[in-house]
Amino acid sequence: MHTDLDRGDNAVKYTLSGDGAGSIFTIDQTTGDIHALRSLDREEKPYYTLRAQAVDMDTNRPLEPESEFVIKVQDINDNEPKFLEGPYTASVPEMSPVGTYVTQVTATDADDPTYGNSARVVYSILHGQPYFSVDPKTGVIKTALPNMDREVKEQYQVLIQAKDMGGQLGGLAGTTTINITLSDVNDNPPRFSKSFFHLRVPESSAVGSAVGRIKAHDLDIGRNAEVEYTIVPGDGGAMFDITTNEHNQEGMIILKRVWSLRN
């Protein structure tokens, strides 16, 4: 502003108004130079619209129309990526093939995404390999190891890092935890604890009386572990029957007809 109006007699002074005038910015009334009174945070306010004017020193009469200008606060990398929704929980079926989708994590960076790499986030996995992997651009978590068996290991804790500056040295980083559970699939048959069960029944036992109990154990859980017992065709099928106790998963063998050594 201090151009043709400067006559060297200090007859001109400069005024400032608008966003932050007097509190954040000040103007040298003599030279027209504008200074910041404190540090500026782009994430608090990215730009300021101000107006300046040259006025007569004695009469305060404007010597020219107001000039409006914008001060844009240039970004620096002073914000680390943050996971706003963590820690995460997810599940994936056991024995899933490599590359099966598990979940997606997202980190946000308050720096300016249009200026430099301050807000360009790259994801990496710090803990959880070789079981899982993360897409460096999208944050999608996938299985990375085949044949993961729930009956061997059910819970996994994965630590994911998001680093700005495109993952380059000197970038700021944030982390989050994902608790991943392998959900059960029906991949285990029921097994008896022994091949032969020896049961005794008095010949005087009445029809419908209990002869004994047997139990098979299934390593699966929930409905996949529910057992139903049947007697395979043969001599025993005519004399005995078996029912399943839904509460303890035992098989109850009962007498189907009157027992006699003469039979």
CATH 2.60.40.60 in the chain, residue ranges: 12-72, 82-183
Distance of CA 91 to the CA centre of its chain: 12
* pLDDT tens track for 10-19: 688 999 999 9
Model confidence at 161: pLDDT above 90? yes
* pLDDT tens track for 191-221: 998 989 999 888 888 899 999 999 999 999 9
Model confidence at 2: pLDDT above 60? no
Share of the chain above pLDDT 70, in %: 93
* pLDDT tens track for 138-157: 999 999 999 999 999 999 99
Q: Specify the pTM.
A: 0.75
Q: Please, what CATH class does the domain formed by 12-72 belong to?
A: mainly beta
> Average of pLDDT values for 227-254?
88
Tell me which residue of 45, 83, 63 sits closest to 1, measured CA to CA. 63
Model confidence at 177: pLDDT above 90? yes
Mean pLDDT of the chain: 91
What do you get for the CA distance between the two ends of the chain, in Å?
122
> Average of pLDDT values for 100-119?
94
CATH number for the segment(s) 82-183 = 2.60.40.60
CA distance linking residue 263 with residue 259, whole number of Å: 7
DSSP string, 139-159: -EEEE-SS---TTT--EEEEE
Tell me which residue of 107, 104, 5 sits closest to 62, measured CA to CA. 5
